[in-house]
Each structure stands twice: as C-alpha cells, then as structure tokens.
Amino acid sequence: MTVGVPHMVWPSMSPDLNPIQDVWDQLKQRLDDRTPPLRGLAELRVALVEEWNALRRCQAVIAANGGNTHY
C-alpha cells in the first residue's frame, strides 16, 4: 500500500489482459462443435479458415478497416 491506496499485484502478461485469448477460445469451441468431427490436417486447415472468417469480431474489424469497433 502506497499513500493509503491498496493495489493488486497483477502479472503484465495476464490472459485477462490479452484479448486474443478470447478469440482462440471461440475458435477452438467452434472447431470442437463441428459435426462430423474433423479428420486430418487438410480438413482442419479448411475449417480454421472458415471459422476464423466467421468470427463476428473479426468481421467487425475488417468492416472498420482495422479501426474501432463496438466490441
């Protein structure tokens, strides 16, 4: 505590501060939910591109030309 203000020790590389972790989690969940399950590297590559392009946040960033979005 400095000057009467408590503070928390928070690691600088915390996943809580890294938004890409949320994207990877969404991507993994969407791949896990596919039916039938993916078989082989070729199917995985195609599915990854399809799911990546389908993520709403990615679409919003693309639409904003890399600018601000409502997320």
Instruction: For residue 5, give the 3-state DSSP assignment.
Output: strand
Residue 62: pLDDT band with limits 50, 70, 90: confident
Residue 50 inside a domain? The answer is yes
Q: Is residue 68 part of a domain?
A: no
Residue 4 inside a domain? The answer is no
2-59 pLDDT, tens digit each: 578 877 776 666 666 677 888 888 899 999 999 999 999 999 999 999 998 887 777 8
The total number of structural domains that make up the chain? 1
Angle, CA 57 vertex, CA 25 and CA 24 arms, to 5°: 15
Does the reported pTM lie above 0.85?
no
7 belongs to a structural domain: no
The answer to whether residue 9 sits within a structural domain is: no
* Tokens of residue 60, six digits: 């919003």
Residue 6 domain-assigned (yes or no):
no
Range of the domain at 55: 15-63
Q: Has residue 52 been placed in a domain?
A: yes
